[in-house]
Amino acid sequence: MKMLASLLAAAVLTASATAPVQAQQLDLSTVKCKEFLASGKDNIGYILMWLEGYYSDEKAPPVVDFDKMKTNGGKLGEYCAKNADHSLITAADAVLVK
Q: Where in the sequence is the domain holding 75, given as residue range(s)?
A: 25-96
In this structure, what CATH number is given to the domain that contains residue 34? 1.10.890.10
Q: Are 88 and 32 in contact (CB under 8 A)?
A: yes
Distances (CA, A) of 92 to 1, 52, 56, 75: 57, 9, 12, 9
Alpha helices in the chain (DSSP H): 2-18, 33-37, 41-54, 66-82, 88-96
8 is a domain residue: no
pLDDT at 20 (0 to 100): 52
Query: Which residues are within 8 A (CB) of 32 and not within 5 positions of it... i.e. 6 or more apart?
Result: 84, 85, 86, 87, 88
Phi, psi of 3 (to 5 degrees): -65, -40
Note if the pTM is more than 0.85: no
pLDDT at 17 (0 to 100): 46
pLDDT (tens digit, 0 to 9) for every residue of the chain, 98 residues total? Answer: 444 344 344 444 444 444 455 558 889 999 999 999 999 999 999 999 999 999 998 898 999 899 999 999 999 999 999 999 999 999 999 999 86
Looking at the structure of the chain, the number of domains it has is 1
14 is a domain residue: no
